[in-house]
A and B are shown apart, each in its own frame.
Chain A
Amino acid sequence: MEEETKRKFINIVGVKHVKLTQAQLLAYSYDATANFQAKADLVISPKDTEEIVEIVKLCAMERIPIVSRGSGTNLAAGTVPTQGGIILLFNRMNQIKELDKENLMITVQPGVITQEISNYVEEHGFFYPPDPSSMKISTIGGNVSENSGGLRGLKYGVTKDYVKALTVVLPDGSIVKTGGKLAKDVAGYDLTSLLVGSEGTLGIICEITLKIIPLPIHKKTGIAYFHSLEDAAETVSAIIESKIIPVTLEFMDRGTMDAVEEFMGLGLPEDAEAMLLMEQDGDIELVERDLQTMIKIAIEKGAKATAIAASTEEADLLKTGRRSALSALSRKRPTTILEDATVPRSEIANMVRAIQAIAIKHNVQISTFGHAGDGNLHPTCLTDIRNHEEMRRVEQALAEIFEVAISLGGTITGEHGVGEMKAPYLEWKLGESGIQLMKQIKQAIDPLNIMNPGKIFAKETKPRLVIQNG
């Protein structure tokens, strides 16, 4: 980037809010995705929407890519500046602006940490349910851009179910306000929904209004340990079939349990092949009844042991263990590559079986955990990026997992986003006409392709695999 251009950026936000040194650019060259790294030309921290407008206009004029970045916990290389350009941070736009108790809405800036929103509304007796595993670190802007899920998705849905209004700076520098504090709103296309999960490719989100709900009075957590992954998966299907919608139905296999145990020392049994974490909230009677029923179903399906968390602290420890699963798994091998394949809930047992078979077939180490109740699994390949032969097998195994998920009516990503990592596989899920439609939308809104270029849409689609049955 020309010195002259850098000066223009500095003029917008002030020299204190631009990062330019070698160390700084390197420290913003990655996110939580293995094997992706690239340096931006400059990292910038605007203080408000007006400064963002100026930045976007400058980028449009000079054709400079803009990558919006929260805390850089992305798992699909969505915030890696692979095309150079600038990284836009929200560390100065991190205020909770308003809690509207009458409308049950909270308005926040994109840089607020998700956990802070959760704590803040709970202090006032309200509840913001979406709770991605990284919620202690991730920003709400990142969550909205990725449409993040979490552990409570089964009963409460994901981020998009709570976003009611957005203020967005479009690639030409114009400001658009979508939605409103409204229970109903059918005025034209639903632009809010289009922008949620758009991974920074359509505009810069500058303000977010979220729906909140009353805080459930009571909650309780149970665990069940199983002899096999299939028993656990079948328990999940049976629970949902019995007309219970629990808050949480989380699953961890043997390998994941080992890693979490090493980090947290929770006392997880060494002889179980899988565990389910089950949580229900609501009125005391309902919570007790549902939890008892879930435990009963688990035992019927062959659970070797079950337990109910004695206290909130114990329940929180178990959930923290589950949240740390991915990072804890990276203890085992130098590189962890995780997937996010999602299938209809009814197919969860089939998917689990298929993953096991794929791991054996390609001779790769895969540990699986995830939001079983949502059909959203996180098969994680434990490997070493320096071993090229092994990496080739890993890539084949992951491609095969995508293929199986799609054949079961599923998708290549449930909650992590496409980013750059899964872009070559997107067409497998969408088909040619699906991807064409999306490209036309992108072209209409961002004709200069300055908004997070290289993400979602790949230059080339991976050739599809031919899979034998089984």
Chain B
Amino acid sequence: MVSELQQRMQESFVEHVNEEYIMDCMRCGFCLPACPTYMATDQDETHSPRGRIALMKAMRDGDVVWDGSIEEAFDVCLGCRACEPACPAGVQYGTLIEETRFAVQQVKPQTIKEKGLRNVAFNHLFADQKKMATTIKFFHFYQNSGLQKMTRKIGFLDLFPPFMKEMESVLPKIKSKQNSPVSSQPKLTNVAFFTGCLMDTLFQETNRKTIVLLEQLGAKVHIPKEQQCCGALHGHSGELDKGIQNARANIDAFDSDDYDYIVNNAGGCGAFLSEYQKHLQSDKHYKDKAARFSKKSIDISSLFVKLGLNDLLKTGQSDNESIVTYQDSCHLRNVNQVFHEPRTLLQNAPGFEYKELIDAGSCCGSAGIYNLLQPEMATRILDTKMKGVKDLKPTIIVTSNPGCLMQMQVGIQREGLQKEMTAMHIVDFLFNVMGKNKIIGVELNV
């Protein structure tokens, strides 16, 4: 007797998970060594891309009955998409896991608490930049009022899972928001800045420095006011429809012939922005606009390189050779194939010797909000990552995404290495290097 839930779940998989994409997988296993969860589980095929695709197919075909073990297999996926460049068959795994999570979300009974959380997060917070800003203002108050110190002191955070606690203690200090271009003289390259909801709030300083550096490199920076969260977090969590609503809003906000580039400084956002085209390919009103948007979308490192930052860095001279290393943002690397550009910038940074971190291209375990949802697996993956860090002994670990940045900071703290090293966003790192070496004529406000 097939239960009603099973029947609805199977129908949902049939409706939402693309069979042709599933059939692209010929199960050769080339994805296995690239998958961090497969490697972290002593090679458990259940936690591999090949295994998950087989489970998607089995759900569609009715070969398995929906249960906790199947749900877990999909939940444990980081969504890092390291399997995609490793796949000779060109399987679109990222799309498949997003479709799967969407299919599950349509049917899965939710507890009232989970419903409430999801509602706040996806229908309000990440859907509306203003609400995000208000929430963050509260957070700002929490940090500044001494309340944070107090809650830390009395161990209020002990009530949270341990990983939450570690995460909370590495949250950056928030300064009050003032995002206006530093210079207003006419420039050659017109750049529209996608500020990102986290980057625009928790990492506001980084955004300010992004603008300063771009302007110093001769770009005119525009910040379209109507922009929203990119939608990636929705997409990764089974709320793709809401992610696509955000996509439409952003496409409208950035739809101007004046912009040469639409730049972002968060790898996770960037990948989703570049895939607006894919998500809206069957929307006749937005199809062309989405293609234009995705084409102009670029990450900050690539744009820095295009605007000649490497040549500028080379003019700097300094003997102090500290070691700097780089932890890839999975989506920047695996979806946008950008891994060379940030490395060249670091290699040219005066005062630093660049050394490659072992398995730098493999996920740190942050993966959006994965570290909050799957703290045990995230920690296991992070601890493996930190082994490589300890061998390399860098002074600075540079990242290209806020999630990775916080995760590496947690890793440093877990190992008790706060005195020896720190993690930095690539923009903050370059800003400091430029300032210290007085590379640009204008004194930078470090």
Q: Is B24 an interface position by the 8 A CB rule?
A: yes
Knowing A21-B69, A334-B20, the reply to whether A27 touches B29 (Cβ < 8 A) is no
How far is it, in angstroms, between the C-alpha of A28 and the C-alpha of B29 when the chains are bound?
A: 12
Q: Given the complex, which residues of B lie within 8 Å of A27, measured CB to CB?
A: 44-46, 48, 51, 54-55, 73
Q: Is B87 an interface position by the 8 A CB rule?
A: yes
Knowing A45-B42, A91-B43, the reply to whether A26 touches B30 (Cβ < 8 A) is no
Q: Is A186 an interface position by the 8 A CB rule?
A: no
Q: Given the complex, which residues of B lie within 8 Å of A327, measured CB to CB?
A: 26, 28, 30, 87-89
Interface of chain A residues 112 through 144 with chain B (CB within 8 A): 113, 134, 136-137
Binds A, one of B59-67, B206-214, B223-231: B59-67
Q: Is B415 an interface position by the 8 A CB rule?
A: no
A331 B89 Cβ-Cβ under 8 A = yes
Q: Given the complex, which residues of B lie within 8 Å of A325, measured CB to CB?
A: 88
Contacting B32 at CB < 8 Å: which of A92, A137, A259?
A137
How far is it, in angstroms, between the C-alpha of A335 and the C-alpha of B22 when the chains are bound?
A: 11
Q: Is A377 an interface position by the 8 A CB rule?
A: no
How far is it, in angstroms, between the C-alpha of A336 and the C-alpha of B26 when the chains are bound?
A: 7
Q: Is A328 an interface position by the 8 A CB rule?
A: yes
Q: Mark A199-217, 1 if CB is under 8 A from B, else 0.
A: 0000000000000000000
Q: Given the complex, which residues of B lie within 8 Å of A263, measured CB to CB?
A: 88, 90
Binds B, one of A5-13, A29-37, A342-350, A363-371: A29-37
Tell me the smallest distance from the CB of A59 to a CB of chain B, in Å.
21
How far is it, in angstroms, between the C-alpha of A99 and the C-alpha of B192 when the chains are bound?
A: 59
B42 A26 Cβ-Cβ under 8 A = no
Knowing A22-B70, A23-B46, the reply to whether A137 touches B30 (Cβ < 8 A) is yes
Contacting B54 at CB < 8 Å: which of A19, A29, A89, A324?
A29
Interface of chain A residues 262 through 277 with chain B (CB within 8 A): 262-263
Q: Mark A19-57, 1 if CB is under 8 A from B, else 0.
A: 101111011111110100000000001000000000000
Q: Given the complex, which residues of A lie within 8 Å of B51, measured CB to CB?
A: 23, 26-27
Contacting B24 at CB < 8 Å: which of A26, A262, A326, A330?
A330
How far is it, in angstroms, between the C-alpha of A325 and the C-alpha of B28 when the chains are bound?
A: 11
Q: Given the complex, which residues of A lie within 8 Å of B87, measured CB to CB?
A: 327
Q: Given the complex, which residues of A lie within 8 Å of B28, measured CB to CB?
A: 32, 73, 134, 326-327, 330
Q: Which of B24, B25, B32, B88 has most A Cβ within 10 Å?
A: B88
Tell me the smallest distance from the CB of B91 to a CB of chain A, in Å.
9
How far is it, in angstroms, between the C-alpha of A330 and the C-alpha of B54 when the chains are bound?
A: 16
Q: Given the complex, which residues of B lie within 8 Å of A22, measured CB to CB?
A: 64-65, 67, 69-70
Q: Is A72 an interface position by the 8 A CB rule?
A: yes
Tell me the smallest distance from the CB of B31 to a CB of chain A, in Å.
9
- Number of inter-chain CB pairs below 8 Å: 107
Tell me the smallest distance from the CB of B59 to a CB of chain A, in Å.
10
Residue of B whose beta carbon sits closest to that of A386: B23
Q: Given the complex, which residues of B lie within 8 Å of A384, measured CB to CB?
A: 23
Q: Is A82 an interface position by the 8 A CB rule?
A: no
Interface of chain A residues 302 through 352 with chain B (CB within 8 A): 324-328, 330-331, 334-336
Q: Is B131 an interface position by the 8 A CB rule?
A: no
B46 A19 Cβ-Cβ under 8 A = yes
Residue of A whose beta carbon sits closest to that of B31: A137
Q: Is B439 an interface position by the 8 A CB rule?
A: no
Contacting A137 at CB < 8 Å: which of B29, B63, B69?
B29
Q: Chain B: how many interface residues by the 8 Å CB criterion?
A: 33
Tell me the smallest distance from the CB of B74 to a CB of chain A, in Å.
9
Tell me the smallest distance from the CB of A9 to a CB of chain B, in Å.
17
Tell me the smallest distance from the CB of B282 to a CB of chain A, in Å.
21
Residue of B whose beta carbon sits closest to that of A338: B26
Q: Is B376 an interface position by the 8 A CB rule?
A: no
Contacting A324 at CB < 8 Å: which of B30, B33, B45, B55?
B30
Q: Given the complex, which residues of B lie within 8 Å of A45, measured CB to CB?
A: 42
A137 B88 Cβ-Cβ under 8 A = no
Q: Is B58 an interface position by the 8 A CB rule?
A: yes
Q: Given the complex, which residues of B lie within 8 Å of A28, measured CB to CB?
A: 45
Q: Is B72 an interface position by the 8 A CB rule?
A: yes
Q: Given the complex, which residues of A lie within 8 Å of B390, measured CB to CB?
A: none
B89 A330 Cβ-Cβ under 8 A = yes
Q: Given the complex, which residues of A lie within 8 Å of B64, measured CB to CB?
A: 22-23, 26
B43 A134 Cβ-Cβ under 8 A = no
Interface of chain B residues 5 through 31 with chain A (CB within 8 A): 20, 23-30
Residue of A whose beta carbon sits closest to that of B63: A26
B72 A32 Cβ-Cβ under 8 A = no
Contacting B69 at CB < 8 Å: which of A24, A324, A336?
A24
Q: Given the complex, which residues of B lie within 8 Å of A326, measured CB to CB?
A: 26, 28, 88
Tell me the smallest distance from the CB of A334 to a CB of chain B, in Å.
4
Q: Given the complex, which residues of A lie within 8 Å of B69, measured CB to CB?
A: 21-24
A92 B42 Cβ-Cβ under 8 A = yes
How far is it, in angstroms, between the C-alpha of A306 and the C-alpha of B369 when the chains are bound?
A: 51
Q: Is A71 an interface position by the 8 A CB rule?
A: yes
Contacting A32 at CB < 8 Å: which of B26, B44, B45, B58?
B26
Q: Given the complex, which residues of B lie within 8 Å of A71, measured CB to CB?
A: 29, 32, 43
How far is it, in angstroms, between the C-alpha of A89 and the C-alpha of B69 when the chains are bound?
A: 20
Contacting B27 at CB < 8 Å: which of A32, A136, A259, A260?
A32
B23 A334 Cβ-Cβ under 8 A = yes
Tell me the smallest distance from the CB of B52 to a CB of chain A, in Å.
8
Tell me the smallest distance from the CB of A297 to a CB of chain B, in Å.
30
Tell me the smallest distance from the CB of A22 to a CB of chain B, in Å.
5
Tell me the smallest distance from the CB of A416 to a CB of chain B, in Å.
13
How far is it, in angstroms, between the C-alpha of A91 and the C-alpha of B42 when the chains are bound?
A: 6
How far is it, in angstroms, between the C-alpha of A189 and the C-alpha of B155 when the chains are bound?
A: 72
How far is it, in angstroms, between the C-alpha of A327 and the C-alpha of B29 when the chains are bound?
A: 9
How far is it, in angstroms, between the C-alpha of A148 and the C-alpha of B19 when the chains are bound?
A: 33
How far is it, in angstroms, between the C-alpha of A433 and the C-alpha of B57 when the chains are bound?
A: 43
Binding site for B on A (CB under 8 A): 19, 21-24, 26-32, 34, 45, 71-73, 89, 91-92, 113, 134, 136-137, 259-260, 262-263, 324-328, 330-331, 334-336, 384
Known: A28-B45, A134-B28. 11 other contacts (CB 8 A): A21-B67, A24-B69, A26-B64, A136-B30, A137-B29, A325-B88, A327-B88, A330-B88, A331-B24, A331-B88, A335-B23
Question: What would be 20 A-B contacts, judged by CB atoms less than 8 Å apart?
Answer: A22-B65, A22-B67, A23-B55, A23-B64, A23-B72, A24-B69, A26-B51, A27-B44, A27-B45, A30-B27, A34-B26, A72-B27, A73-B28, A137-B30, A137-B32, A263-B88, A326-B26, A327-B87, A327-B89, A384-B23
Binding site for A on B (CB under 8 A): 20, 23-30, 32-33, 42-46, 48, 51, 54-55, 58, 63-65, 67, 69-70, 72-73, 87-90
- Nearest 6 A/B pairs, CB to CB: A21-B69, A327-B88, A27-B51, A334-B23, A324-B88, A23-B69
